[in-house]
Structures are given as C-alpha cells and as structure tokens.
Structure 1
Amino acid sequence: MSAAAALAMIRRFGKAIGMTERSAPFQQTRLARCLVVLLTLLGMAVISAPAHAAAGNDLAFVGPDYPISSAARKTLVANMVALRSRPNRAALAIPDVAALRSACATAQGAANVKPVGWVRSRFEQCLYQVGAQAGGIVVRQQTGEPAGEIHFNLWILGVASNGTREVQYHIFVEEISVSTIPGNVIDWPNQRIAFDFFGCAAMTDVTCSADSHVDTVDGWARDSGQVITVTSPNGTGVGPDAQVTKSLGLDLTLGSLPIKPSIQPSIFTTEVRFDSGRGVAAQHGTVFPRYLPSFALSMSDPQIRDSALHIYDAQNRPERTFPAWLGKSVPGKTAEDPLHRMFNEALKKDNRAASIGFCIDTWGPYDETGLDCDEYPFASTQEGAVTGTTDPQRPRSSARLIPGDDNQLAGSRLGAFYSNQRVLDTDAFTVNITP
C-alpha cells in the first residue's frame, strides 16, 4: 500500500467516525496509530503514524518495531554521551516557578508518576521525571530497527493565578544524554523534540499561547525552557461564578527523518478551572481542582484553642458532643467525607438557628455570658446543622458554647481560607486539626 493510499484510508475512517481536518492534532495522531496497528494485524505494509504537524515530519514507510537485543542494550549504556544542557535562567528567576521546582525535586514519590504528577496545591502542579523515566526513548530507523536512545530530565511546572484567569506551564528538557548503536548514523543535534498541547483547539472560552513547542536536541540543550500560557476571558463560563473547567495535556514526539518519529501520547495531563467567583477577595482566578484544600487550626494556638478543640472532638470523639446520639459521626476530616461550601444565605441562617437551638437546649440562655454558640460543621457548608441532616433525630453536627473572641477569630480565618483557596459554592474541602 502506498503512503498516499494509507493516508486516504486514515482520512476516510476519521470521516466515518465524525473526525474532521479541524480535529485536535492529538486525536488525529491517535486515530492514525490505531489504524497502523489494525493494518499490521492484517499483514499489510503500513506507514508510520504522523508526528504532530509542528514536528515537521513527513509520512514514511516502516516495518514493525523490533526489540533491542541484550547486546545492543549493553552497547547503548556504554556509549551514552551527555550533551551540554543549560537551565532557563529567566524562568527560574520567577519566584513561584523556582519554589515549585525546588519542592517538586524533593517529592519524587508523587512528582514522577505520569501523567498527572504531583498537584502540590490549589495553584501548583508538577511532573518531574529523571533520565530514563522521562527520556529512555528508543529511536529507530524507518525499518523499525533500533538505532539509538535518548535520555533527559523532564520538568513540567504548572502555576495558576489567584487574581487572573491564567495558568502557565513551564517545560524544561535538561541533562540530555544520547547513545547510538554501532552501524547507525543519527544526527542527534538536529533530532526534534516536540511537545504538543491538547485541549485548546477550537475553544472560544480558553486560549493557548501556543499549540506546541518544538526545538532540536541541540536547541533544548542550549535553552531548556519553554512556556505555554492558557487564559480564559473574564466573565466567560458557566453559572454565577463564570466557571470554565478544562482538561489539558501534552503529547511528546521525538525524531526527524530518516529517524522514525516516536510518539509518547499524554505524557502529562492537567485539569484547570478558571472563575470569576463570588465570596473570594480576588474576583478572577484559576485553580487546579484536583487538589482538595484543607482548613487548618491548631489546638496549641491560644487564640482559637476552644474552636480547634471543638472540631477535634466532633471529628474524633463525637460522643463528647451535642446533640448526642449512639453511633454519631461528624464529617469533614477526610477526603471521602468532606465539607462543601454553601453560598445560600437563607440556608446559612437556618443552620445557624438550629445550632443556637442546640446550645440553648443543652446549656440554657447564654446572652450575658460572653460566650458564643460555635457550630461544626460550619453554617456556611452543605453539611451544616440543617442542610447536612437527613434524620432530625441524628444530626451529624455539633454545637458548643466557647469564648466569643475565640469563635469569631476562627470564623475570620475560615473566611480567609475560602478566599485564599478560591473555595466557591459546592467546592469540597477538609478541616485539619493539629495538636
């Protein structure tokens, strides 16, 4: 089968399933790869799946990918040559990027797991793969025979903004090493490394500064860093908080003819939410919603000790709380049973009134005592005294009289937490009480 005939078959099949020329490049590539496998199973001569258009590779005839022999593997290891690699100093001068990179380097257990890596906070996500974890990519001749291998350190650092509807993804390819199996010729400096960003194509509510970043091995070695900025217009999106949530990601393509392009799909995936939210100080912002924020209080803090102790008892010793009932449990401690913020003012008042009723029923009137009726879960959550109750005889909440200044300061800190973490209506969070 000729290259033209195979490409025509790919396009006809794509049209049959509703794919067009405007479909995202990563969708077209994966379709092509599936057809390559299908045609191979049918015993036909096939062409390679096309690399993304940005990589600039033409289609070429190939055979199956042959495994590397143990002897060739030993040769690759013995012949590995390190290329000069220089980190992007301009990017590393950005405090948020430098801080995330430093933290990511020490979190290898989470940060090196593709494709998500480590979502460090509401505003930070990173993937860090060292040597063979990231590279370790075998390059092949058009026949499918192994020709060499490339290793590199890969950093992908995502930094979201609490103040603008923008997120930046910084890509670094560093510490590049290459090796060639004797008998092969590879123009390593001019082999292309392309990162194709998917998820932005044909979108009106999200714009990407680039669909891809492509450079030669030599280019990445001289200046390892690139950045892709994703933005969403203010006020665009769903609901009163104008939310736009997108799943984005990166495909990696390596190789330039006559080397057979190697495609590594979805080496990194990310979910990002843009909003113009109510109930937060910065009107516009962006978060990584995979991260579950946690409101932290300490029982060692004398200013809010009673608030913290009340929540600790509710979460860990509910038998010490009121209303009391056998087998009582109170939510908010774990990701499996979190709290959810609630904006509905009428329901907040209902939650507050119910908690005050519990306090009066248990301790009597307290107007002249200087005490406040503290409620947990908070009245501003869906798990409050009314909104979180399905059985009025068994409310999963607690009310307790504590000093007024303690209660009010803890409430002020809760409001700051909501704002700083961009916790919007229905957003989940946990409460963490430390000694």
Structure 2
Amino acid sequence: MPSVLAVALAGSPAAAQSPTDSMRGAGQTSYRPAPAKAADSFVPPKDKVGRESSECSKLEKRRDEFLKANKKYFACLDSQNSTNRTRPEHRTGKSMRETLSADASISSIDELQHYCLNDPEEWKTFRDEACHWDLGLNWDIRDARTGALAGEVSLETFHYIFLANGSTNFSEQVWVHSASHWGKGSTAFYDISFTCLGDCRPTTEDGIAPTLATTDADGTWYFVSDLPTESYGRGQTYMQMSMTNADPNVLPGSAFIMSDAKIRCDTLVRHLQVPGCVFPNYVPTVSFSTSGLYPNVAQHIKDAQAAGRPGKPGVRPLHRLIDEYLQKKNRDTACPTSGPNVLPTAPDGSCDEYPFASTQEGAYTGDGVYSRRDVPLIENVAHGRDGVNRDFYVPNRIIHGDAFWVDIDGSGGSGGGPTPPDTQAPIIICPPEVTSTSITPALGQPETSDNADTSVTVTNNAPATFPYGTTIVTWRAVDDSGNEAICAQTVNIRYKFTGFYLGGNYIGDWDQAIQTAPYTLSFSFRVADYADTVISDLSVVTSVTWDASGATIGTPTFNAATGRIELSTWVPKAFNDQTRTLTVSLSDGSRHSVSIEFSTV
C-alpha cells in the first residue's frame, strides 16, 4: 500500500510531511479530546445519494425486467447486512484491522486510527481529519429467476479525509478490503469514484480502477473549494461503488454512499491571510494549566467554570464573537475603566474577564453573569494575544458562531461533544429548469447537505398536474433542528407545435420565397396538448409579429379539415432582398418563429 496520504497543498500533488504533524502547529496544545461522532448511522437523502440505489429489497421487485433484458443474475447491496443465512464462504487471511495495522504508513494517524478501528460504522472527526471504518458493503449476486443467492462479495472500507489549514484543497483516501466472497461473487469487479456535493469540486485522483472483488485496493481523491475573499463554503464527499461481473449474465449494480464528515472551507480567519478547511461539527478545545504560561488566568477560568460559567468541556461551550464593537462592549461591561464598577488592581495588574470578550457569552452579549479578577497585566495580554488568538482561534479557524471548549488542567472531560445547538440552515441546490410537453414532467431532485444532521427532509409544492405556461416550484430542505432552506425551480409546460406551413407546404422554420413584394403569404401551424389533441381555441395564439414594420397580419382562423390554425399576412416591398422573421406567441409562454428569405424576381 502507498503512504497514507499525498495531500494537495497550494496546487501541489503531494506533501511530504505527516498529515498529523502538519496540522498540529506550534500553537496547538498537547491536550486532545476524543473525536466527534455522528449522532446516528447515516441515512443519505433519497433524492440524491444512498445505498438504496441498488438495495436488494428494491431490485427483487424487478426480476422480470432483468430476465427480459437477458440477465439471469443481478448484483445488489444487502443493506440489511444479513449474517444468519447459510452459504459457502471464502474468507481472506486478514481483517481490515489487521491489514491497516500492519501498514507502517498508518502510524502517522495512529491516534485517529485507534478510534475508528475500535468503533466501526461511525465517522470520527477531529478539526482537520476524519476517518470511517465501514463494515457494511455486502453485495449479493442473486438469481433473477428464483431470487436465490448465487454468490456474495463482502467488502470493508476505511476512509481517511485530510484538510489543510492554508489551502482549500483537501483529499480523501480509501482502502478497500475483500473480507469474503463465494460463488459468482468470486468473478465480480468493483470500481470506486468520488465526487463532492456543495461548494467544492474534484480536481485529480489516484483512484481505484476496476478491481477483482477478491483483492484489496486503495486510492486517493483530491478536491478543492473555490471561495471568494471574505466568504465560506460547505462540502461533503460521496463515493460511488459499481459492481460488475466477468459473467455477462450478471446485471451490474451501483451504490452511492455519502460521508457524514461535513467540511467547511473559509477565507474569514483574521490574522491569517490564507484560506483553509475544517470539520465544523468537531468542537475544539483550548487548554491551559494553572502551572503553565498563564497560571493566574487559568486559575481564574477554573474558578469561574466551577461557579457555573460556560466553557467547561462536556457542559456548555463558548461561541466565537467577531464583531469588534460588541467585543468592546463585553470588555467595558466586565472591566470598565471609569465609574463605580471599576475593579481595583495592583500596580502591575489588570482586569481579566471570563467568559472571554471575544465570545457570544461575554459580559454584555451573554446572560449578564460573568467573572472578573485582577491578574498580572503582562500575563493577561499574552494570554489573549497568544494563548487564545494566535495559538487557538487561528490554527483551528474559529470563525463567528463556532463553538469551542476551554479546559483547565485536563480535568474537563471529553471535549468532542456535546455538539452545541444547530442553527445553520441546510444547503439546497434546485434541479435545473424543466421544459416539457407533459403535464406530469420529471422534475429531478435537488442536491442537499447539512452542517450537522445526517438526514434532511426535502419537500416541494409541485402540483399533481401542471398547467400550461410557467410554474415556479419551491423546494424546501429542513434539518432535524428545524432549520430551513429553500430554492426555486422553473417548470415550463408547452403545447406541441408542429412547425410552419407556407401555403400547403411544410417549411418548418425557414423558407426561401422568390417573389416581388408586396405579397400576401398564407401560414398555418398545428397546436396540440400533451395527449396530442388538436387545440382549436384561437385564444391559444396571443400575438403574431414580424421583426420589421410595414406588414399587416390578418386574424387567425381554425381549419377543421387540416387541424391547423391559419393566418394571412401582407408584406411590403421593403422586405425584398431581405430575410425577415415571423413570430407566433402562444398562451403557454412559448414563442415559435419562421424566417423567410425574400428575393426579387
């Protein structure tokens, strides 16, 4: 196996340093809490991606269809992960745990590997990296005639995503381990590709070519988030796995599996004029010691938390405040420089407030309950400038609203959760505009993702049957916390239009007429509804115009014998030696044009 990751930094295809070392930075503290976990197993949006795309329970209902296509077997994903049925089996020598543990390149992420390999099926994230050990990729090869099991491929995957503080490039590596196979599963091939949903796009890959299901494989995919200055975007990777077979009688299967690791890239961090990406669901911890660089400030924080002030890991987090005016209001409320509420300090002392003035829980912006204490001025300044801002806010890309913990002396417990209340709306991208002659058109499905929740409820207000004309369909995405996002899709329902006839001859949308104007032309055209029923109501024609002045246009009439709407138009001599266009507008909002080239005889 190759090294664990060749991450793309600043456009480079690889970086030599260890992912773990490169992301710690001099400002990071040694204390590191457990990684964040997803609250529930992933249930992907049905409209976009999900394992149900080739679920056996769904494909079982289509067996007759497969037989008509001359496919005696079909590949499907056993989403139930059934283990109680009797079958012959060939199991490989090593498990995924043994395979990865034996790989020396994994030692650079042994801390994260420990969490993932000892607690499979859930994504684990730190601020800058995430991993997932998936045991559930069990592919069945079933007999389309009887539904009986004819073979199986059981795969395990290990995903590792690495982000970069200094670039909006990020990458995902996946190892695939063939855990067992038998029957027609022994001649199956799998192929994997990745893409990104949201404000990101794939760039390059060192991917997995179609590989026999009895062998292991690995590959790396690279992505980038293109962001303007002073902005942020969110993204989420998802994997497509295709299962084909050397036996042409086996119908291939395909599954889409989205990661639970939501990514945020931004260009917003102050004092750091470079972009970067983080996993925002992971709540980072800043740690101080009462015997460290800032002993007096640390003791103050420890006492304040003991008295019920927020920030202690696992209790109630603090949230970043960017607004400098409100930060000053927080300082002035807790530590005024004049008036009766001034805190007496030693000659070399200063007023230290907690919660920090740079948080939404500060003395003014919070609940009004705060703590303050006289601490040495030099220590107070250094703690805020270096301990909090330089060594924590910046490397962890803590932007406005981000939650974080403050741990003193390592006694705060686990800092990876609980996750603070979710107030971020989902991302929803509507399907493209639809134009159709059907009154029940296929609208497609929107792309959705969310910063916190693994499932998003998607609804729309589309009617059962659409009227002719233009309808705006509103799509809504609602996450588990009730946050809502909407987008609009345009749906155009059009009548069937046959093209133009000139005289009795069909000309479509162009003709050459050799004549000397003035001249009277007789046009006709057929309009029908979705069922191909001819429209005789002349109100369907809303206007008829030439692209030049001087012509006159008669009143349209309906010819029952031909089933066409007819109209006559007189054109002036000025049209000679020109190409002019006649346009008919219909009540459905459509416009149909025919161009006529006039030539002098």
Same topology, TM > 0.5: yes
Partners of 2:353 and 2:373 within 8 A in 1: yes
Q: Which residue of 2 aligns with 1:322?
A: none
Q: Is the partner of 2:336 in helix, strand or coil?
A: helix
Residues 278-293 of structure 1 correspond to what in structure 2 (within 5 A)? 278-293=269-284
Give the equivalent residue in structure 2 for 1:349: 328
Match of residue 111 from structure 2: 103
1:270 aligns to what SS in structure 2? Answer: coil
In structure 2, what is the equivalent of residue 155 of structure 1? 158
Partner SS for 1:300:
coil
Distance 2:142 2:322 in 1: 58
The equivalences for 1:33-182 within 5 A come to 37=58, 40=61, 45-47=64-66, 60=71, 72-73=86-87, 75-76=88-89, 79-82=90-93, 99-100=108-109, 102-108=110-116, 111-114=119-122, 117-119=123-125, 121-129=126-134, 133-143=135-145, 144-174=147-177, 176-180=178-182
Distance of 2:314 and 2:242 partners within structure 1 = 37
Distance 1:267-1:279 versus aligned 2 partners, 3 A rule: closer
- TM-superposed CA distance for 1:431, in Å, is 1.0
Give the unaligned 5+ runs of structure 1. 1-23, 49-57, 319-328, 390-394
Q: Which residue of 1 aligns with 2:48?
A: 27
1:207 aligns with 2:180: no
* Distance in 2 (alpha carbons) for counterparts of 1:70 and 1:243: 48
2:238 to 242, 249, 274: 249
Asked if 1:373 corresponds to 2:351, the answer is yes
One of 382, 394, 400 as aligned partner of 1:409: 382
SS in 1 for 2:132: strand
Report the counterpart of residue 370 of structure 2 in structure 1: 397
Distance 2:393 2:59 in 1: 52
User: How does 1:415-430 map onto structure 2 within 5 Å?
Assistant: 415=389, 416-430=391-405
Compute the displacement of 1:106 (Å): 1.4
> In structure 2, the residue corresponding to 1:254 is in which secondary structure?
strand
User: Relative to structure 1, is the Cα distance of residues 355 and 220 closer, same or farther in structure 2, using a 3 angstrom cutoff?
Assistant: farther
Cα 1:104/1:140, change in 2 over 3 Å: farther
3-state SS of 1:408 partner = helix
Say which SS state the counterpart of residue 394 (structure 2) adopts.
Answer: helix
- Considering only CA atoms, is the larger Rg found in Structure 1 or Structure 2? 2
Shift of 1:33: 5.6
1:266 aligns with 2:246: no
SS of structure 1 residue aligned to 2:262 = strand
Aligned-residue CA RMSD (Å) = 4.1
- Answer whether contact 1:207 1:230 (CA < 8 A) is retained: yes
Distance in 1 (alpha carbons) for counterparts of 2:75 and 2:190:
22
> Structure 1 138/210 Cα, relative in aligned 2: closer, same or farther at 3 Å?
farther
Deviations 1:282-304 (A, max 9, x none): 52101111111111111232x31
Does the 8 Å contact 1:359/1:401 carry over to 2? Answer: no
Q: Give, in whole Å, the separation in 1 of the partners of 2:382 and 2:73.
A: 69
SS in 2 for 1:209: strand
Counting aligned pairs with the same residue, the percent is: 21
Q: What SS does the aligned partner of 1:217 have?
A: strand
Counterpart of 2:190 in structure 1 is: 193
Which piece of structure 1 moves more, 370-379 or 139-148? 139-148
Within 2, Cα distance between the matches of 1:359 and 1:294? 34
Partner Cα separation in structure 1 for residue 154 and residue 378 of structure 2: 59
Contact 1:81 1:177 in 2 (8 A): yes
Q: Could you tell me how far 1:159 is from its partner in structure 2?
A: 0.1
User: Closer, same or farther in 2 for the Cα pair 1:87/1:165, shift >3 Å?
Assistant: farther
CA deviation profile, 1:337-372 (whole Å, cap 9, x unmatched): 321111211111111111213998678543x62111
Q: 2:70 touches 2:249 (CA, 8 Å); kept in 1?
A: no
1:231 aligns to 2:224 (yes or no): yes
- Does the aligned pair in 2 maintain the 1:193–1:253 contact within 8 Å? yes
Amino acid at match of 2:238: G
> Amino acid of the residue matched to residue 248 of structure 1?
T
State the distance in 2 between where 1:378 and 1:28 align.
42
Contact 1:359 1:399 in 2 (8 A): no
Out of 405, 408, 414, the position equivalent to 1:433 is: 408
| CA positional deviation for 1:171 | 0.9
- Mapped partners of 2:189, 2:91: distance in 1: 19
User: Are 1:173 and 1:220, in contact at CA under 8 Å, matched by a contact in 2?
Assistant: no
**Could you tell me the TM-score, scaled by structure 1's length?**
0.68
Paired residue secondary structure (1:410): helix
Are the structure 2 counterparts of residues 64 and 244 from structure 1 closer, same or farther at C-alpha, using a change threshold of 3 Å? closer
Aligned partner letter, 2:394: S
- What per-residue deviation string (whole Å, max 9, x for no partner) do you get for residues 141-184 of structure 1? 4443222333444211000010001110011113x24332xxx4
**Mapped contact 2:196–2:223 kept (Cα < 8 A):** no
Query: Structure 1 213/146 Cα, relative in aligned 2: closer, same or farther at 3 Å?
Result: farther
Q: Which SS does the other structure have where 1:229 is aligned?
A: strand
| Deviation for aligned residue 1:264 | 4.7
The alpha-carbon deviation at position 387 of structure 1 amounts to: 1.1
The reply to whether residue 277 of structure 1 matches residue 285 of structure 2 is: no
One-letter amino acid of the counterpart of residue 281, structure 1:
L
Distance 1:337 1:103 in 2: 26
CA contact (8 A) 1:110 1:118 kept: no
Counterpart CA distance in 1 for 2:242 and 2:405 is 40
**One-letter code of the match for 2:299?**
L
CA contact (8 A) 1:136 1:150 kept: yes
Equivalents in 2 of 1:29, 1:363: separation in Å? 60
SS of the aligned residue for 2:400 comes to coil
Using structure 2 for the length normalisation, give the TM-score.
Answer: 0.51
State the distance in 1 between where 2:95 and 2:359 align. Answer: 54
The verdict on how the C-alpha distance between 1:29 and 1:128 changes in structure 2, with shifts beyond 3 A counting, is closer
1:311 aligns with 2:301: yes
User: Highest relative contact order (Cα 8 Å, sep 6+), 1 or 2?
Assistant: 1
